Amino acid sequence: MNKWFELLFGLILLIGAILVAWYSQTWVFFGKNFNFWNAGWIFFKGGFFWFVTMIGLLFIMLGISDLKD
């Protein structure tokens, strides 16, 4: 694909996802709340938690490896 088309298409998808998440804060169908903004925030917090945890484990393994020397 053309690099400019890929950039434009990616930008359109990103802006579309942000708009859907923003406007979905008030979507309620059959008593079920479809708040994609909240779901995205929870996913981000979980990813951040696992990132920090894995960095901590990496430093522990590096420290143990240095103790052997």
Number of domains in the chain: 1
pTM for the full predicted model: 0.61
Range of the domain at 63: 3-68
35 close to 24: Cβ distance less than 8 angstroms: yes
- Summarised one tens digit per residue, pLDDT across range 44-65 is 999 999 999 999 999 999 888 8
- Summarised one tens digit per residue, pLDDT across range 25-45 is 777 788 777 888 888 889 999
Of 53, 39, 10, which Cα lies nearest the Cα of 61?
53
21 close to 36: Cβ distance less than 8 angstroms: yes
